[in-house]
Amino acid sequence: MNFACWICGSAANSREHRIKKSDLKLLFPKTSQQTPLYTREMDSGKIVSIGSLKSDKLKWKSGLCHDCNTNRTRDYDMAWMHLSTYLQTHTNLAITRIKLKNVFPGSINESMLNVHLFFNKVVGCLIADHSAPIPLTPFRTAILESLPNPYLQLGFGVLRKKAPNQAFITPMQALNAGGIIEFANCHYTIKQVFVDIVYTRRTEFLRVANDTWHPNTRAKILRLSTLRVNHQILPRTRISYP
């Protein structure tokens, strides 16, 4: 674990789940030593069993302080938990748009900003874990000031084929120019629902049309795209982190 929280610089005495614990509970509510999950270790590639959703094997190696991981980002976690649950229970291949007033009545802008900041935290942890050549400052500032990260956009969608219970975040695919990553993206997938997380500092890569979303658009409709390919990396496991 890092000795300093990448958000505020305080002593790192806490760690964040790679996949939100509430998402794992939604899919695997009876996880135990008798009914374990299985995952691939990020470094060794070894497949290991997990008998508790509290296991450190499900968490990022980079550390956060307890205050940042709980108090400071609690609203972000709760907003994503609410949207994730709604998407899992209200979406199918026939649905291409979600009216956000049905998800967050009376608090669309604030709640969706919090969803954005939840994934801002996810990507910040990923960058810190792998020492990726992406500046952490915009991710840190977004959380400390509760402002949108101007370089981070999200695309929401559903897998075209029926998916088994699965949960994972893919490695980042990146465009490197002169030692600096100009564009990168990864997918966060919970069963049938996926989030395409897009980072870019170059305006020509911005995709603010129908397939991505950013808080600054203040959109009231969430457009859902579809993928033909199932992202499941380990077909025989119930959870995987490639």
The pTM (predicted TM-score) of the whole model is: 0.88
Look up residue 163 and give its two tokens.
């998916």
Beta-bridge partner residues of 197: 154, 186
Alpha helix positions (H), 29-136: 66-67, 74-90, 100-103, 108-130
Within its chain, how far is the Cα of 70 from the centroid? 16
Q: Please provide the size of the chain in residues.
A: 242
Give the DSSP letter of residue 37. Answer: E
Concatenating the DSSP letter of every residue in 163-214 gives --S-EEEPPPEEEEETTEEEEEEEEEEETTEEEEEEEES-GGG---SSS-B-
Q: Find out whether 151 and 118 touch, Cβ atoms under 8 Å.
A: no
Q: What share of the chain is helix, strand, coil (3-state, %, to 5)?
A: 30, 25, 45
The one-letter code for the residue type at 56 is D
* pLDDT values of the chain reduced to their tens digit, one per residue, 242 residues: 557 999 999 999 999 999 999 999 888 888 888 888 888 776 677 888 889 998 988 899 888 999 999 999 999 999 999 999 999 888 766 678 899 999 999 999 999 999 999 999 999 999 998 888 899 999 999 999 999 999 999 999 887 777 778 888 888 888 887 777 888 889 999 988 899 999 988 766 655 444 678 998 888 999 888 764 444 333 222 333 32
**Long-range CB contact pairs, 206-213, < 8 A, 24+:** 206/153, 207/153, 207/155, 208/153, 211/155, 212/153, 212/154, 212/155, 213/112, 213/153, 213/154, 213/155, 213/156
Confidence (pLDDT) at 172: 83
Going by DSSP bridges, is the β-strand pair 180-190/193-200 parallel, antiparallel, or unpaired? Answer: antiparallel
